[in-house]
Amino acid sequence: MEYKVSSLAERPDMRERVFAMADSWPEFVLQDPVGWAHFPRIAGELPQYVLFAEDERGEVVANAFSVPFALGADGRGELPARGWDAVLLWAFSDLRRGVRADTVSAISVSVAPHAQGLGLSARMLTAMRETPVPSASARSSPPYAPTPSTGNRAPRWRSTPTGCAPTGFRTTPGCASTPGPGPSSTPSRRPR
């Protein structure tokens, strides 16, 4: 089956369909107050960082969210131990203050339950790497939220000026203290 990947910047009319896609995120991920407050802002303020895949019938079968931020800003310099919460706070603080981003972090990749196992998560990660970054020297960094497929482990990425590539797995400091259950048996929705 052929999948078409687009961004909300290219197709803003797809916002509701992107958010309405069924997913299998465990409930504990959906209860994060920083994520609840900031996740919906990505689509509204950074639509070029919201990607989605449609199947041949036009059904949204995967989505991917990322955010740009200034890792090189004063007081930062390395990825935060507080994980994606800190990345979201940095990204929207930098956006509000006009700070130039030098890094893009994946926040989530979701695949509709009926479309899992078809290679869509890899396809979405590839599309994220191909999304233009704020500057030529920008780097990509990993998602920090635990995922249904990795529990409390997140992929480790090697950052390079041209993108990122998986290099194995390690426990992520921001996730190690919140191990989660397996995938939910019923689809749940993230905040809009």
The Cα 53–Cα 37 span in angstroms is 25
| pLDDT band of 54, cuts 50, 70, 90 | very high
The residue ranking higher by pLDDT, 26 or 106, is 106
Average pLDDT over residues 37-62: 95
User: Which H helix or E strand runs over 1?
Assistant: none
Are the beta carbons of 102 and 77 closer than 8 angstroms?
Answer: no
The whole-number pLDDT of residue 85 equals: 87
- Compute φ and ψ for 10, nearest 5 degrees: -75, -35
Residue 175: predicted pLDDT = 25
What does the pLDDT read at residue 133?
A: 61
CA dihedral 83, 89, 90, 91 (to 10 degrees): 100
Instruction: Provide the pLDDT for residue 123.
Output: 95
Q: What phi and psi values does residue 147 have, to the nearest 5 degrees?
A: -115, 160
- Is the pLDDT confidence value at 179 over 80? no
Q: Is the pTM for the entire model greater than 0.75?
A: no
Decide: residue 52, CB within 10 A, 0-12 exposed, 13-18 middle, 19+ buried.
buried
The pLDDT of residue 63 is 96
- Residue position matching structure tokens 């990345």: 87
- Binned at pLDDT 50, 70 and 90, residue 59 comes out as very high
Please check the confidence at residue 99 and state whether its pLDDT lies above 80: yes
